[in-house]
Amino acid sequence: MNAQRTQLPDGRWHFQHGPMDIVIGANGSPAAVEAAHEQAWQRFGGILGELVRELPVLRQPVQGPCPLSGPVARRMWHACRPYRSGFITPMAAVAGAVAQELVACYAANGITRAWINNGGDIALHLAPSQSVRIGLYADIDRLGVDEILHGMQTDGQFEVDSALPVRGVATSGWRGRSFSLGIADSVTVLARTAAEADAAATVIANAVDVADARIQRRPACELKDDSDLGTIPVTVEVPPLEPELVGRALHAGLRRAQTLRAAGLIWSAVLVCQGQFMSTATGGSVQRLENPRGGRQAGSVFA
């Protein structure tokens, strides 16, 4: 199937090709925005083919020198490289890396801000003095393309302005599109780039875990034949757990997040599990989601 695009009533664009479902918004002069959208569309059409050609290598653990040639594939590999002491493949950063490739089309005169939302993994372009509001989704099982397109109820919001070293936001969890080794409903990471945020969110979400026989796991290859995780057990069901166990899992994830933050790999992270959350901003205190449904973000995670 060829790549397809649809312009939404509010001016945003929906690009779709195979597993890639992307919503793009931009502000600026009409001519500059139109030109950037067209450039992004032309670039989008070739990305899937590039990745498929290198897919066997992309599914291999990151180690040694980078063996990849395509720009998106190499970006995926380099985003995952800091975590090579454990098991990680470049696929952990695919959504963020694709979003990052497209947002480069908007780094042009006349564009004040732009965002590429690839299934909840987001790349940002912000001109000086510009900002965006990001909607926090606590349970990514609720997050689908329809909600991104038509409006969603967020669980919280925060602002990213151009002065911050943040141009990427990513979310991972056991309920998401990709497999997870942990039990987090969601881990949202802000980082320098979308690919780096994607890889870090995966790693932190894997660390939100606790030993309990009620948690169901299955080898990834039994759920998806060609999974890059092979026989590694991934989480398939998490029953309601005692608050103490949830807190223990969140603390484990927070320790990982704080290590990444100290190393300069992320700017911040919010970890959510069964109505409780922790963040790198609040330290080791577990808090409850007091308002589990926040304000509606019209058609995007941006106000």
Mean pLDDT over 3-25 rounds to 96
pLDDT > 90? residue 68:
yes
Residue 143's pLDDT band, with cuts at 50, 70 and 90, is low
Assess contact for 204 and 260: CB atoms under 8 A.
Answer: yes
* Coil, helix or strand at residue 131: strand
Q: Model-level pTM?
A: 0.92
Percent of the chain's residues with pLDDT above 90:
82
Per-residue pLDDT tens for 146-194? 555 555 566 778 899 999 999 999 999 999 888 999 999 999 999 999 9
Give residues with Cβ within 8 angstroms of 234, minimum separation 6. 174, 179, 180, 181, 217, 218, 219, 220, 223
Domain ranges for the chain, please list them. Answer: 4-297
More confident residue, 299 or 60: 60
Per-residue pLDDT tens for 282-296? 877 778 876 544 443
Burial 126-158 (b: 16+ CB within 10 A, else e): bbeebbbebbbbbbbeebeeebbbeebebbbeb
* pLDDT score of 139: 63
Average pLDDT of the chain to the nearest whole number:
91
Separation between Cα atoms, residue 241 and residue 156, nearest integer Å: 23
What are the start-end ranges of the E strands in 162-242?
168-172, 186-191, 216-219, 233-237
Assess contact for 206 and 191: CB atoms under 8 A.
Answer: no
* pLDDT score of 158: 84
Per-residue pLDDT tens for 219-268? 999 999 999 999 999 999 999 999 999 999 999 999 999 999 999 999 99
Helices marked H in 157-288 — which ranges?
194-207, 220-223, 243-262
Superfamily of domain 4-297: ApbE-like domains (3.10.520.10)
Separation between Cα atoms, residue 58 and residue 231, nearest integer Å: 17
**DSSP for residue 21:** E
* pLDDT score of 154: 66
Separation between Cα atoms, residue 285 and residue 225, nearest integer Å: 40
Pairing of strands 121-126, 168-172: antiparallel
